[in-house]
Amino acid sequence: MLQEESDLSLIIAQIVQKLKGSNLYAQLERQAWASLQRPEIKLESLKEDIKEFFKISGWEKKLQNAVYSELSVFPLPSHPAAPPEHLKEPLVYMRKAQGSWEKRILKSLNSMCTELSIPLARKRPVGEQKELLNKWNEMGTDEPDLSLFRPVYAPKDFLEVLINLRNPNYENGDSLSFRTHLGLIQVPLKVKDIPELKEFFVELGLTTGQLGIDDSTQVPPELFENEHVRIGQKVLAEQDSAAAQQYIRQGSPTALRAELWALILNISSQPEDILYYEQLKTNVIQHDLLVDSLIYKDVKLTASNDDYYFVFEDYLYQVLLCFSRDPSVLGHFAYNSASPPKSYIRGKLGLEEYAVFYPPNGVIPFHGFSMYVAPLCFLYHEPSKLYQIFREMYVRFFFRLHSISSHPSGIVSLCLLFETLLQTYLPQLFYHLREIGAQPLRISFKWMVRAFSGYLATDQLLLLWDRILGYNSLEILAVLAAAVFAFRAVNLMEVTSLAAAEAVLADLSTLKVMPLLQIFLFATVT
Amino acid sequence: MSRVSVPCHVKGTVALQVGDVRTSQGRPGVLVIDVTFPSLQEIMFKNYYTAFLSIRVRQHTSTHTPAKWVTCLRDYCLMPDPHSEEGAQEYVSLFKHQMLCDMARVLELRLILRQPSPLWLSFTVEELQIYQQGPKSPSMTFPKWLSHPVSCEQPAPLIEGLPDPSRVSSEVQQMWALTEMIRASHTSTRIGRFDVDGCYDLNLLSYT
């Protein structure tokens, strides 16, 4: 059909355009030039011979993985008449809401600057640079005075913004109708219901083996675990991203997880990547940013206090400080509804040649941001690889958890999905909690914004994040949140206040994620 | 009074006369020129909460019957779920191959919008634009010596030790084509510098 053909050629053109600037392109070119020496490459059939060579030597697979990665991350090209803001976020009122939220954040940061009389950014004097370089591997021992700094915002501030989100074209009247939203989210986004979720998460079904359920000590490993590990090793040997993504839907064996995630995210540690990380490290040494103090404060408040993650404190600084200075992250703003904050070099206000983004990666961290990195420290010990994995996880998934958008994996859709699931399948519980002034989203929001990091035990969290990678979607966070409420429903029905409800759900560290998900999706009588 | 030209196609003259043109003696006294309006190629618009779209056109059929309304698109779905936001503000293009009738000789176009859900306060389509067939890409005029090559003379006998000239020329042509392709490609990757000439001293964030 004409339309599909022209769509396909547009997608191909876009992907080629993106890959042309990548490392892989340069490597393929080098390989192609080098292959001209080979006897089997003839000039008359140059194109076919080189293609054959790529197929045999494994370079075609690398290209396939890169293309698959692009398809997973970038949204499909939209209508040619659609302006770039439409690609970031199609709904105008959501773009406006995101804009006002960003303005509030900027104002908050600016007022912090003026109050504390600290510049947003400054060049470090040479002595300070030397000092920082010396203690690069133990920045955690530093105890700067951070008492005056406060986080720019916390998840509960963001929740208030989402609660007040309204579509001006929607009937928001007081009279109850068949579509009145009884939860906190009042925008009518399309979310999946349980039959659709069952189809989407079909590999989590009762008849399919899962790691997290079928590898427990009572189950003999010959039934599922051994075979699953064998298949995992085969997938890694083939180096096929798409196969790895399909495989990991049933969970990843601990020994293979680091490599599998790197394969799915299409990360291979080339010397250029290590050099790039070293360059970022130099940027950290040379320039001091206000955002650094925010990062320090966040790590000290969250990860350092966590029983599982405090050992990784130094790694967290090494990753997050470099992350703030990485301009390649700016690329994700093409499909993120958020926009990077702008500033001007001191004394050059208004001159476009002196306009820069602040921080260089355009991302202002909030309270709990460091928890996105902490679980990854269990898998990767080499700082540049850890950095690459975190950066890719952020530009694929985590950015959606703190920006206002209508995307099905965006936080607004996740909140609505959670509330709708609870309301539809646990109506008594929902009604009871609402009556006592304990709207369920107020409790589960912080779990979803942090992708459950810091709330679940680490092995359970990694099993959950396996599925996020496998399904390329964050919807599982909302399903798990609803499953947790379903699990503790009996206790929750007895509480009479928000504080008591919070207490019932305060400790999730004993929960087993996969059985909860399986029961909620496939075994609950509706 | 201002005026804008309407794009139309003027056909060549057709003579009306009795008998055969070639055999009869007199010159024709009546000539006919037909003017047609181009057929519509594409209808483009931005949706605003419309769920279903129908389009009817009033076509000019022949000189004697009055123009009548014909449905060319029936209940085209713009929003899969009329109660939710999916597709509510998307850009849409409709092409002539999706239409049920021929889009030639159109006098009037009528868009019928339907939104069955009572939840939306208003609905419409915005930025409506209609396109016709664009001109075909202009034919290249080649210089005469390319389009009419001289008949080849007998090639000079090969000198011993030198490669075959036709083979060399084909290889050179291929390499030239490859370098042209590389030169034409450009990427959108960033350089990777965030500072301006080594300076990154900033005071406050800008709100604009």
Question: Mutating which of B42, B81, B85 best tests the A interface, going by the most A Cβ atoms within 10 A?
Answer: B85
DSSP class of residue A330?
G
How far B87 CA sits from the closest chain A CA (Å)? Answer: 9
Q: Which CATH number do you get for residue B84?
A: 2.60.120
What distance in Å separates the CA atoms of residue A501 and residue A436, rounded to the nearest whole number?
A: 10
pLDDT at A94 over 80: yes
Contact B55, B72 (CB under 8 A): yes
Contact A332, A364 (CB under 8 A): no
Residue in chain B nearest A190 by alpha carbon: B84
CB neighbour burial string for A254-281, b if at least 16 within 10 angstroms, e if fewer: eebbbbbbbbbbbbeeeeebbebbeebb
How far B66 CA sits from the closest chain A CA (Å)? Answer: 34
The SS3 of residue B57 is strand
Quick one: tokens of A391? 């950066």
ipTM of model over 0.85:
no
**Is residue B153, in this structure, part of any structural domain at all?**
no
Stretch 309-368 of chain A: residues touching chain B, C-beta under 8 Å: 325, 327-328, 330-331, 341-346, 349, 353-358, 360
State residue B8's pLDDT score. Answer: 65
State residue A223's pLDDT score. Answer: 83
pLDDT at A247 over 60: yes
- Cis peptide bond N-terminal to A144, omega within 30: no
Among the ranges given (A163-172, A296-305, B111-120, B187-196), the one the predictor scored with the smallest mean pLDDT: B187-196
State residue B146's pLDDT score. Answer: 56
Averaged pLDDT, A260-268: 93
pLDDT along chain B (208 residues), means of 10: 64 67 62 67 89 85 76 91 91 88 80 87 86 66 55 56 75 73 57 73 78
State residue A510's pLDDT score. Answer: 95
A366-398 residue pLDDT tens: 999 999 999 999 999 999 999 999 999 999 999
- A32–chain B Cβ distance below 8 A for any pair: no
pLDDT at A191 over 80: yes
Averaged pLDDT, A84-103: 93
Number of H helices, E strands in chain B: 2, 11
Give the total residue count for chain B: 208
State residue A285's pLDDT score. Answer: 93
For B94-157, the three-class secondary structure string (H helix, E strand, C coil) is: EEHHHCCCCCCCEEEEEEEEECCCCCECCCEEEEEEEEECCCCCCCCCCCHHHHCCCCCCCCCC
Question: Mutating which of A46, A169, A193 best tests the B interface, going by the most B Cβ atoms within 10 A?
Answer: A169
Domain spans of chain A, in order of start: 1-74
A202-240 residue pLDDT tens: 999 988 888 888 888 888 888 888 999 999 999 999 999
Provide the number of structural domains found in chain B: 1
Nearest to A460 by CA among A378, A393, A403: A378
A132-159 residue pLDDT tens: 999 898 888 877 778 888 888 999 999 9
Stretch 160-179 of chain A: residues touching chain B, C-beta under 8 Å: 167-171, 177, 179
State residue B33's pLDDT score. Answer: 65
Averaged pLDDT, A409-428: 95
pLDDT at A346 over 90: no
A341, A346, A349 ranked by CB distance to B201: nearest: A346
pLDDT at A74 over 80: no
Contact A225, A214 (CB under 8 A): yes
**Is residue B197, in this structure, part of any structural domain at all?**
no
- Run of H or E residues at B68: strand B68-77
Averaged pLDDT, A461-466: 96
pLDDT at A1 over 50: no
Quick one: tokens of A30? 């080098």
Whole-prediction pTM:
0.85
**Is residue B95, in this structure, part of any structural domain at all?**
yes
The boundaries of the domain holding residue B100 are 3-19+26-133
